[in-house]
Amino acid sequence: MHRVKNIETKPDYTLSVTFEDGTTGEINLADRLFGPMFEPLKDPAYFAQASVDAFGVICWPNGADLAPDALYDKLKAA
């Protein structure tokens, strides 16, 4: 499993992501912010509360999270 080491929130629902192996990149989530868990992230102040948990998963206070393996694969494919 790939683990996220660090993130930085950016404008327009973009995350700058760094993985433990040094892989880095930016991911825009604007088209994925729908449904009960992700709808609150449309508020830029709430989106900015993203953090990395002890397992290397990007998460928000409401329990929304992003699978690190899928993000890693997307960055490597770009």
Q: Is 4 helix (H, G, I), strand (E, B) or coil?
A: strand
Give the residue-averaged pLDDT of 36-65: 97
pLDDT at 63: 97
CATH code of the domain covering residue 58 = 3.30.2020.10
> Structural domain of residue 26, as residue ranges?
4-77
pLDDT above 70: percentage of residues in the chain: 100
DSSP string, 5-63: EEEEEETTTEEEEEETTS-EEEEE-GGG--HHHHGGGGSHHHHTT-EE-TTS-EE-TTS
Residues 4 and 56: their CA atoms lie apart, in Å, by 4
pLDDT (average), residues 11-29: 97
Average model confidence (pLDDT) for the chain?
Answer: 96
Counted domains in the chain = 1
